[in-house]
Amino acid sequence: MLALIVVANPGSTSFSHAMAAVARDELAARGYEVAFHDLYAERFDPVQPTGEMANTSSADRGDIWPVALVLHE
């Protein structure tokens, strides 16, 4: 199974990064393949280019579902 972790905090020693690291380690220990993205480290630009404004539909829209994961014993 694949898990996606996205962190968007400029401080690499932030609580967000610490929680993401714990989640990554726990998921990996449970056999998940973990994709980890630090948007600041990747220099992610959240501004959508104007040329993409007309692209409002996708053939994959039904395949994407938001998920919240809570780990507990």
Mean pLDDT value across residues 48-68 = 60
Predicted confidence band of residue 54 (pLDDT cuts 50, 70, 90):
low
Mean pLDDT value across residues 52-60 = 63
8 Å CB contact between 29 and 22 = no
Q: Between 25 and 45, where is the model more confident?
A: 25
Q: How far is CA 19 from the centre of its chain?
A: 13
Report whether pLDDT(69) > 60: no
pLDDT in tens, 26-49: 999 999 999 999 999 999 888 777
Predicted confidence band of residue 63 (pLDDT cuts 50, 70, 90):
low
